Chains A and B, each alone.
Chain A
Amino acid sequence: MMHRLALAYLKFGFVLVIASVHATDEIALPPASENYYSPASAYLLTLTMIGAPEDWAANGSEAVFKKIQNGQSEQLWSQQLPHSYRPKLVIVSDQGYLALFDQWINVLGPYAIMVFSPSGDRLKSLSFDDIAKSVEASRANVVKKAQIGSWMESLPRIAASSNIVEVAVAGKVLSIDLETGSLSQN
């Protein structure tokens, strides 16, 4: 009898916990710092959030880019990024090019793709609308088919020793040439 009561109590408590926890609107905080290597670990990008966690949304993040050779790292550039919190995804090529995807927050904003040269120059900045146009899809269709964030249907990929990144968008494959920042559709 006591066991039954205890079980019923636990079940009731579980239901209460589920009911009380699910009614939120929140986004997880990004890691305070995160490293991203190129496929052969020739380059390293470190993203570090600026300030205390409660200020991360306003302060954003700093990117530090390093070249790695014979186990030694040499800083090539660093700069503060304009993304809210920080970029969501990062690709680093073995030639020192860098592509940043989306903002940490899921909005259809101006920083869908940002491409940097090995010296830290911003080669290209593409908005969500630019992406939709490049795949010739309506904005609603791009969002509807997105699996990662607001517009990507797949994770962006780069082949070893390549400067071409591919990502699926609205049923098509978008290629990004990191040397020029140009987009093409496969």
Chain B
Amino acid sequence: MKKVLSAVCFVICIIPLQSQALPLLAIDIQPIQVCNNSGGDCANSSMELFEGIGDKIWSQADIDLNFLSWLAVDDSSILNSANHGSYTANANPSIVNIWFIEDLASCGGTGSTATLFGCGGGNKISVTDLVFSFNGGIGRLDTISHEIGHVLGLGHNDFGAGGGNNLMTSGGSRTVPSSINDINPDGAGLSVLTDEQIEEARSSDVLYRVVPAPATLWLVFIGLTLLRLRGNLTSKQLLVKQI
């Protein structure tokens, strides 16, 4: 019985610690596509989330972006020229709503005279269609990740932001990647997160710790047990591995 418990402890306690430098954290994001009252003229018609881009950017902080299944909201009054305040946060505080709309009046305060791609904060994000037509249709690949950074407590000028290659630098000064191949640590090294930003983002209450799936744990456990039964792994070896 002791041996079995030791093996279970080894699988649960040691393996996750050895697999990466920082424990993997995740954030649940609920994408919401806004359409007009009759369900037409929908924003983000291709339902693009730039998920591969976002995963690569946030892997710098060992944070996984977990996009939930799409929701659709038919409401012409929030499709165009609304304020970020018009969009609701999720009733579950550990889920971040991301609203896709055609355009925004402002992120708060007075109306904006700039080209507005997105707003983030208060456990919600709003993203305009300008993100998808940007750069000749390539898209503003880092906006969703930038706004997630705001939700996780990062600003434009704190925790080391401000350089042209940093994810959180303001829109007018940040160099936006045109390809996943230019995201740090590859190519031009864009969308960088500093150690300070990573520490701050990882302290957010919105994140949760990812534990290995039970099926994986059982497979490892069965494998170790089989090794033990074949005599390839003695109790002594098992103990050494635990230490």
The answer to whether A139 and B187 touch across the interface, beta carbons within 8 angstroms, is: yes
With A23-B121, A140-B187 already in contact, the answer to whether A29 and B114 are too (CB < 8 A) is yes
With A106-B174, A107-B175, A107-B176 already in contact, the answer to whether A23 and B120 are too (CB < 8 A) is yes
Q: Is A42 an interface residue (CB 8 A)?
A: no
Which residues on A sit within 8 Å (CB–CB) of B134?
57, 84, 105
With A107-B135, A146-B175 already in contact, the answer to whether A26 and B116 are too (CB < 8 A) is yes
With A140-B188, A143-B188, A146-B164 already in contact, the answer to whether A24 and B119 are too (CB < 8 A) is yes
Chain A residues touching B, range:
20 to 34
Chain B residues touching A, range:
35 or more
- Scoring A17, A24, A28 by chain B CB atoms within 10 A of each residue's CB, the highest score goes to A24
The answer to whether A109 and B108 touch across the interface, beta carbons within 8 angstroms, is: no
Cα A140 to Cα B103 in complex, Å, equals 33
The answer to whether A25 and B143 touch across the interface, beta carbons within 8 angstroms, is: yes
The answer to whether B164 and A106 touch across the interface, beta carbons within 8 angstroms, is: yes
Q: Is A76 an interface residue (CB 8 A)?
A: no
The answer to whether B164 and A143 touch across the interface, beta carbons within 8 angstroms, is: yes
Cα A142 to Cα B173 in complex, Å, equals 15
The answer to whether B116 and A21 touch across the interface, beta carbons within 8 angstroms, is: no
Among residues of B, the one whose C-beta sits closest to the C-beta of A82 is B136
Q: Is B194 an interface residue (CB 8 A)?
A: no
Cβ of A179 to closest chain B Cβ, rounded Å: 30
Q: Is B202 an interface residue (CB 8 A)?
A: no
Cα A43 to Cα B121 in complex, Å, equals 48
Q: Is B155 an interface residue (CB 8 A)?
A: yes
With A106-B175, A140-B187 already in contact, the answer to whether A23 and B135 are too (CB < 8 A) is no
Q: Is B117 an interface residue (CB 8 A)?
A: yes
Which residues on A sit within 8 Å (CB–CB) of B52?
none
Q: Is B97 an interface residue (CB 8 A)?
A: no
The answer to whether A26 and B112 touch across the interface, beta carbons within 8 angstroms, is: yes
Cα A19 to Cα B151 in complex, Å, equals 11
Cβ of A153 to closest chain B Cβ, rounded Å: 11
The answer to whether B135 and A25 touch across the interface, beta carbons within 8 angstroms, is: no
Which residues on A sit within 8 Å (CB–CB) of B135?
84, 105, 107, 109
Q: Is B189 an interface residue (CB 8 A)?
A: yes
The answer to whether B156 and A22 touch across the interface, beta carbons within 8 angstroms, is: yes
The answer to whether A24 and B118 touch across the interface, beta carbons within 8 angstroms, is: yes
Cβ of A36 to closest chain B Cβ, rounded Å: 20
Cβ of B112 to closest chain A Cβ, rounded Å: 6
Among residues of A, the one whose C-beta sits closest to the C-beta of B137 is A58
What are 22 A-B pairs at a CB distance below 8 A?
A: A20-B107, A21-B108, A21-B109, A24-B107, A25-B116, A25-B140, A25-B146, A25-B147, A26-B112, A26-B115, A27-B172, A29-B113, A29-B114, A84-B135, A107-B135, A108-B178, A108-B182, A140-B165, A140-B188, A143-B165, A144-B163, A144-B189
Task: Report B's interface with A, CB cutoff 8 A.
Answer: 103, 107-109, 112-121, 130, 133-136, 138, 140, 143, 146-147, 150, 155-156, 163-165, 170-178, 182, 187-190
Task: Report A's interface with B, CB cutoff 8 A.
Answer: 17, 19-29, 54, 57-58, 84, 105-109, 139-140, 142-144, 146, 149-150
* A-B CB proximity, top 8 nearest: A20-B108, A140-B189, A23-B121, A26-B114, A23-B150, A139-B188, A150-B175, A24-B107
